[in-house]
């Protein structure tokens, strides 16, 4: 099992940069993108579609993980233009057995490897800051694109608990990143 850190090293998201991306603490303006995503058919894999009120509660509560848990969502911007592209982060709502790696990208930013590039940066950060030896994705079995991404990142399907009993759990080995 991996566990939440005893000491909160980062009460808000640090800035992580990759070749094409800047990952940073979410801000209020980012909510509009979540709202659009949660209202769309793509949200069906995340337990949606959600109303505006539910979407806000999810967004605010996940941002609120940072001061309490020391990890949470990173908003992902294009490093050149500053354009918002999506979110990659570590999530642990009530009932999750462990902190989970998750992602979404906005319409139009798909198919460019954005989520993969951002997820690699977050995994490397988590390995170094928390010393975790693995992190899992919990993915709805119908969400083939996310499953494919998890496997492309080097993850393997494991028989471990997720959020929902039917979830596909993909485990990433972080030991080489620490």
Partner 1 sequence: MTYAMPLPIPTLTTERLILRAPREADFPAMLAFNESPRTAFVGGKRDRQLVWRGLLANIGLWALRGHGLFSVDTHKGDFIGRVGVLFHDGWDEPELGWHLFDGFEGHGYCVEAARAARADYHARLTLAPLISYIDPANPKSEAVARRLGAAPERETVFFDKTINVWRHPAPEAPQ
User: Which positions touch partner 1 (CB under 8 A)?
Assistant: 11-12, 25-29, 31, 52-53, 55-68, 93-95
In the complex, minimum distance from the CB of residue 2 to partner 1, in angstroms, rounded to a whole number: 18
Closest distance of CB 35 from partner 1, Å: 8
Taking the least distance from each CB to partner 1, the nearer of 7 and 53 is 53
Given the complex with partner 1, which of 25 and 160 has the nearer CB atom?
25
H or E stretch covering 146: helix 144-152
Provide, rounded to whole angstroms, the least separation between the CB of residue 101 and partner 1: 18
- Please provide residue 12's backbone torsions phi and psi, each rounded to the nearest 5 degrees: -145, 165
* Residue 116 token pair: 């993969």
Residues 6+ apart with CB under 8 A from 44: 140, 142
Min dist CB 148 to partner 1, Å, is 30
Q: How far is the CB of 30 from partner 1 (least distance, A)?
A: 9
C-beta closer to partner 1: residue 51 or 128: 51
**Would you say 59 or 132 has its CB closer to partner 1?**
59
Identify which of 67, 59, 64, 69 has the alpha carbon closest to the alpha carbon of residue 30.
59
Nearer to partner 1, 95 or 108 (CB): 95
Residue 34: name the closest of 20, 15, 45, 50 by CA: 50
Helix 52-63 and helix 31-39: axis angle, to 10°?
Answer: 130
Asked if 106 contacts 33 with a C-beta cutoff of 8 angstroms, the reply is: yes
Least distance in Å: CB of 63 to partner 1?
4
Of 45 and 56, nearer to partner 1 (C-beta) is 56
CA distance 96 to 105: 22
Rounded to whole angstroms, the Cα distance separating 26 from 137 reads: 21
């Amino acid at each position: 099992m991996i566990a939440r850190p005893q000491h909160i090293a980062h009460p808000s998201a640090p800035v992580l940069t990759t070749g094409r991306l800047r990952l940073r603490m979410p801000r209020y303006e980012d909510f509009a993108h979540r709202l659009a995503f949660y209202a769309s058919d793509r949200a069906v894999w995340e337990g949606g579609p959600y109303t505006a009120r539910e979407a806000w509660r999810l967004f605010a509560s996940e941002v609120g993980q940072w001061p309490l848990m020391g990890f949470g969502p990173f908003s992902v911007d294009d490093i050149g233009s500053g354009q918002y592209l999506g979110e990659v982060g570590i999530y642990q709502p009530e009932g999750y057995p462990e902190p989970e790696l998750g992602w979404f990208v906005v319409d139009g930013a798909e198919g460019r490897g954005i989520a993969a590039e951002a997820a690699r940066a977050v995994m490397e950060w988590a390995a170094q800051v928390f010393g975790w030896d693995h992190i899992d994705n919990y993915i709805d079995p119908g969400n083939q694109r996310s499953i494919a991404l998890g496997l492309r990142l080097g993850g393997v399907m494991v028989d471990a608990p997720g959020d929902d009993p039917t979830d596909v759990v993909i485990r990433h080995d972080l030991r080489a990143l620490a």
